[in-house]
Amino acid sequence: MKIISYNVNGIRSAINKGLINWLKAADADVVCLQEIKAEPGQLNLFHFEDLGYKTFWYPAKKKGYSGVAIFTKKDPLHVEYGCGITEYDDEGRILRVDFKNASIMSVYFPSGTSGDHRQDFKYKFLDDFSKYIDKLKKNYPNLIICGDINICHKEIDIHNPVANKNTTGFLPPERAWVTSFLESGFIDSFRYFNQEPHQYTWWSFRFNARKQNKGWRIDYILVSESLKKKMKRAAILNEAHHSDHCPTLLEIEV
């Protein structure tokens, strides 16, 4: 199974930049999208259906904000919308599809960039998400969590760790959360296969950051330890230019 995770920063904008043709060429079995900023009724779903996808959408209640989606060529056994916590579900942050041998999630973590209140909201989300996953994996042990986590885990994951040491997305408590979450039974699939520096998934639109590769790796595919031997390849697909993010890829036998 080929899985792609992609924060499209507005799916309508991404479509205007060639997303449909890119998806056709990428030919993934499952595509997890974050920050769709749209409802399915605002789109021509035929474009995705013509590629063989069943599409599942979980937009935020606020128009043009947040939201996640999953496209899959294989019929899921079940689709779970949200996590049962209203303040996160209203923002369309978590969507899950269940298959026989694995469950795949598209998750959009809060960013914390718009002020202290949102940073506090982010910390609360991190805590609640850990608790949610701890309960979930008792019944769904084979989890593949795709998403924009909005955190760089280690210094290798950010272009300037010294200058950004006090910046949201690279704060010590955030980074410690990633460590703790991985230690609870998950694998950072990209780092499992690739330990090279200068591998990023997000670049500011300002200061020509992407051209200079001054980026952050904040998009992940996290895989349950139980699926470790099933993983075949992981990559960052930085040739895709439909967003300020780029997609991440996992190939796995499930």
pLDDT digits (tens, 9 = 90+) for 200-249: 999 999 999 999 999 999 999 999 999 999 999 999 999 999 999 999 99
pLDDT band at 66 (very low <50, low <70, confident <90, very high): very high
Q: 81: which 2 tokens?
A: 């919308």
How many domains does the chain fold into?
Answer: 1
Q: Within a 13 Å sphere around the CA of 197, how many CA atoms are in the beta-carbon half? A: 8
Rounded CA gap, 201 and 6, in Å? 9
- Over the chain, what is the mean pLDDT? 98
What does the pLDDT read at residue 115? 87
pLDDT tens by residue, 7-47: 999 999 999 999 999 999 999 999 999 999 999 999 999 99
Amino acid identity for residue 184 in this structure: S
CA distances from 116 to 70, 84, 110, 169 (A): 31, 25, 12, 13
> Cα angle at 188 between 186 and 191, to 5 degrees?
145
Q: Which of 98, 128, 148, 244 is catalytic?
A: 148
For residue 38, the domain's CATH number is 3.60.10.10
Q: With cut-offs at 50, 70 and 90, classify the pLDDT of residue 114.
A: confident
pLDDT-derived band at 146, boundaries 50, 70, 90: very high
- pLDDT of amino acid 61: 98
- The answer to whether 124 and 88 have CB atoms below 8 angstroms apart is no
Stated pTM of the model: 0.98
Percentage of the chain with pLDDT > 90?
A: 99
148 is catalytic: yes
Please say if the pLDDT value at position 183 is more than 90: yes
Amino acid 17 reads K
Task: Supply the range of the domain harboring residue 24.
Answer: 2-252
* Single-letter amino acid code for the residue at 239: E
Query: Residues 109, 93: contact at Cβ < 8 Å?
Result: yes
Q: How far is CA 212 from CA 8, 157, 200, in A?
A: 21, 15, 12
> Looking at residue 105, what is its pLDDT?
99
69 CB burial (10 A radius; 0-12, 13-18, 19+): buried
The answer to whether residue 122 scores a pLDDT higher than 90 is yes
